[in-house]
Amino acid sequence: MKHLISLLMENEAGALSRVAGLFSARGYNIESLTVAPTEDPTLSRMTIVTSGSEEVIEQIIKQLNKLVDVVKVLDLNDGRFIERELMLVKVKATGVFRDEMQRMCEIFRGRIIDVADNSYIIELTGSGSKLDAFLDAIDKTAILETVRTGASGIGRGERILKL
Amino acid sequence: MELSGAEIITRCLQEEKIKFVFGYPGGAVLDIYDAIFKQDYFKHILVRHEQAAVHAADAYSRSTGLVGVALVTSGPGATNAITGIATAYMDSIPMVVISGQVSTPGIGMDAFQEVDMVGITRPCVKHNFLVKDVNELASTIKKAFYIAASGRPGPVVIDIPKDITQFKAKFSYPKTVAMRSYNPVLKGHSGQIKKAIKLLLEAKRPMIYTGGGVVLGDASALLVKLVKKLGYPVTNTLMGLGGYPATDEQFLGMLGMHGTLEANMAMQQSDVILAVGARFDDRVVGNPAHFLNQPRTIIHIDVDPSSISKRVKVDVPIVGDVKNVLTDMLALLDESDKTPSESALKAWWQLINGWRKEKCLEFDRSSDIIKPQDVIEKLWQVTKGEAFVTSDVGQHQMWAAQYYKFDKPRRWINSGGLGTMGVGLPYAMGVQLAHPEAQVACITGEGSIQMNIQELSTCNQFHLPIKVILLNNRYLGMVRQWQQFFYENRYSESYMDSLPDFVKLAESYGHVGMKIENPADIEGALKEAFALKDRFVFMNFITDQKENVFPMVPNGKGLSELILAERITVEDL
Ligand SMILES: Cc1ncc(C[n+]2csc(CCOP(=O)(O)OP(=O)(O)O)c2C)c(N)n1
């Protein structure tokens, strides 16, 4: 099953490679990984999207906790959470596509943030599956380029990952 | 007063009360070596290859419980250290390895003798540091020692660029370390411990299975108390030998791939297992699916949560320092008015004694060729079971583990996790330096000993009276055994040709050499060698070429599917 794992770690050179190295060395799946400093610049927050059996996920959490630079780990799937990802898609905007892309963008609550003679850039945020759904919904031949940030996750309500 | 980075390093080592640094100089560490020259607090042991420096520091730690220290230069010095670091990592040995690095402006420029040490060691260290500011040098060293020795121990690398060793800073060594990201759990959960005691007392076929964690955690005395109190059978892993006295009647011997019949069968047929500082690895439980065929309850004490339920699902996990947890368990047992069921325990011991009667470690004592088992057994007798025994990797290692009965912890020094050939001699150096008066035997094969044979020179320089017990079968015996069993006797590249004259070789390094070919001479030769208290003696025992290690659980098989001797399986009993 897909899991979102959030973690806080020391914002130090090499910390990211310890996490990435752990996943490759132990053969864990990694669908996406995002990282940036938090409001406290000495801490980075990472969201890892991974999948595996409950046993594998349990091991992943334990192994992450074992890394000396990692301060806190939370399996977001243990409770209610929000997942968001940003995608930029450059699509053809010629002929029938010019109107159709605008319509699809509206349906998915995206925004057109760049308009050129032959193309648009659409900005879309949502869960990974919503972004997938958008790509499935539009004509494949219209897609020129896509870039996605990978998911960020946060627990709802009282669930707070902080020091 | 300001000190140079190099001086700060030697002062920090002094603050850590380090007595020996094992190392090898080079360009990037010249300033550190200059600072070493000017101090007389610790002794530097100049090895002949950096791999040996790390192994020696590792064995120093294994035999004392203190943190071992190795020092190597950048580039090739650093890469030569990798096998040693990985070996220590796999067996959770606390160690600090200081590597030189090119000066900071040179980093990333493919400078002469530059290698990304932090990157290269990342998968085989507990943690590592690159020091980029001389003002952070002392606090980094403090952290390194703290991390290496606390929680589940392990090697820590500190990579120090040359200019950092030259820059000056005010020296002050922190008294304590606090790290928000690193706080090992040491105290076991009391609810879990209660549950464990209840299960243990209700067990009908209990088994206590202990590993290296008991040795590393200095918990042997507590383990003995617990086992004695309960009257249960106990087995040790390869790494756990000495954690429980091998000559005690409740000890069933080592378990696992080359474990005894009684240990493996009891493990398989038990209904409650108490695992202490052991990790159910592939060499111990064989095929995990086969192991889990038998319904049973597993209690697992370990300081590292990630060792619990990794290969085998555990029912009662207890995370904590084994010493703390065993202390709590003993206290609870004292309070409890319950006792184990006498009748069930009696029946269980009867079953176990039936397996024992098979005498799975018996060997041919009438042979006129030297049997390797015979040598180890006599070594045990001649040294009165008191020696520190280091071993290399192969058949000889398994025979040493099976036939030398370790009654004390930290006496059996070998590479269990990584299985590194070549550790034996450098391990013996580290042990002998730590225990100058002790008898130190290095049990080895002609393959393994040649992997760090250059250390004969170091042993001469530092007058280390080690006794090398070479079981010379002219084969990479363990490889040959697998080829015999699983590759239809195709002995591909496992014959050790063109061996040196080991006696002359030893003599050329200033040591005593002996060649022993007759079984009748084993005991006398050993006595003669150990009587040479201040000499290094290299004993070349010419042994049976085709002797195999039994019992054996073939790879991927279950514990009760072991082979007892040539073509005899448990079903044939
Ligand atoms: C560095 C290294 N290379 C290869 C191996 C694989 N290996 C395991 S045992 C063994 C044979 C060891 O031969 P020897 O030292 O003569 O001991 P014996 O088995 O004959 O007692 C080999 C090659 C290893 N463990 N370590």
Q: Are residues B121 and B202 in the same domain?
A: no
Residues B143 and B203 in one domain: no
Integer Cα distance of B526 and B519 in angstroms:
12
Query: Domain range for residue B524?
Result: 372-542
- Tell whether B136 and B268 lie within a shared domain: no
Query: Is A9 within 8 Å of B181 when comparing Cβ atoms?
Result: yes
Closest approach of B182 to chain A, Cα-based (Å): 6
Same domain, B119 and B218: no
Q: Is residue B549 part of a domain?
A: no
Query: Which ligand 1 atom minimizes the distance to the CA of B399?
Result: 21
3-state secondary structure of B5: helix
Quick check: is B402 catalytic?
no
In three-state secondary structure terms, A137 is: helix
In this structure, the answer to whether residues B503 and B392 fall within a common structural domain is yes
- Whether residue B176 is contained in a domain is answered as no
Q: How far apart are the C-alpha atoms of B208 and B193, rounded to whole Å?
A: 15
Average pLDDT over chain B reads 96
Query: pLDDT tens track of chain B, all 573 residues?
Result: 899 999 999 999 999 999 999 999 999 999 999 999 999 999 999 999 999 999 999 999 999 999 999 999 999 999 999 999 999 999 999 999 999 999 999 999 999 999 999 999 999 999 999 999 999 999 999 999 999 999 999 999 999 999 999 999 999 999 999 999 999 999 999 999 999 999 999 999 999 999 999 999 999 999 999 999 999 999 999 999 999 999 999 999 999 999 999 999 999 999 999 999 999 999 999 899 999 888 999 999 999 999 999 999 999 999 999 999 999 999 999 999 999 999 999 999 999 999 999 999 999 999 999 999 999 999 999 999 999 999 999 999 999 999 999 999 999 999 999 999 999 999 999 999 999 999 999 999 999 999 999 999 999 999 999 999 999 999 999 999 999 999 999 999 999 999 999 999 999 999 999 999 999 999 999 999 999 999 999 999 999 999 999 999 998 899 989 898 875 666 655
Q: Please tell me the distance from the alpha carbon of residue B246 to that of residue B48, in angstroms, as a whole number.
A: 36
Q: Cβ contacts (< 8 Å) between B181 and chain A: which residues?
A: 9-10, 68-71
Q: Does B127 touch chain A (CB under 8 A)?
A: yes
Does the distance separating the beta carbons of A55 and B306 come in below 8 Å?
A: no
Say how many CA atoms lie within 13 Å of B489 toward its Cβ. Answer: 1
B51 alpha-carbon distance from chain centroid = 16
Residue B561 included in any domain: no
- State the pLDDT at residue B247: 98
In this structure, the answer to whether residues B346 and B425 fall within a common structural domain is no
Residues B261 and B305 in one domain: yes
CATH number of residue B11's parent domain: 3.40.50.970
Looking at the structure, tell me whether residues B207 and B352 fall in a common domain. Answer: yes
User: Is the domain of B352 the same as that of B377?
Assistant: no
Q: Is B477 in the pocket of ligand 1 (CB under 6 A)?
A: yes
CATH number, domain of B344, equals 3.40.50.1220
Are the C-beta atoms of B467 and B537 separated by less than 8 Å?
A: yes
Token pair for A146: 């896509």
Determine whether B16 is an active site residue.
no
Six-digit token string for B138: 């002392």
Please indicate, yes or no, whether residues B320 and B394 belong to a single structural domain of this protein: no
Residue position matching structure tokens 């294994």: B62
Are A55 and B309 within 8 A, CB to CB? yes
How would DSSP label each residue in A66-98?
HSTTEEEEEEGGGS-EEEEEEEEEEEE-STTHH
Residues B213 and B303: beta-carbon distance below 8 Å? yes
Residues B194, B200: Cα–Cα separation, whole Å: 10
Determine, yes or no, domain membership for B417.
Answer: yes
How many domains in chain B? 3
Would you list which residues of chain A are within 8 Å, Cβ to Cβ, of chain B? 9-10, 13-14, 17-18, 21, 25, 55, 58-59, 62-63, 65-66, 68-71, 163
Instruction: Quick: pLDDT tens for B316-328.
Output: 999 999 999 999 9
Ligand 1, atom 1, residue with closest C-alpha? B421
Number of Cβ within 10 Å of residue B417's Cβ equals: 19
Predicted ipTM?
Answer: 0.93
CB B237 within 8 A of CB B210: yes
Domain boundary among B117, B141, B170: B170
Q: Which amino acid is at B116?
A: D
* Domains in chain A, CATH or no CATH each: 2-78 (3.30.70.260), 82-152 (3.30.70.1150)
Block mean pLDDT (10 aa), chain A, length 163: 96 93 96 96 97 96 97 96 98 96 96 97 97 96 97 95 90
Q: Is B152 in the same domain as B10? A: yes
Task: Identify the CA nearest to B397 among candidates B310, B476, B506, B512.
Answer: B476
Kindly list the distances between the CA atom of residue A157 and the CA atoms of A3, A39, A74, A81, B9, in Å, as whole numbers in the listed order: 19, 19, 15, 9, 49
User: Where do the H-state alpha helices sit in B360-501?
Assistant: 372-382, 395-403, 424-434, 446-449, 456-461, 477-486
Q: Considering B170, B202, B217, which residue would you say is the last residue of a domain?
A: B170
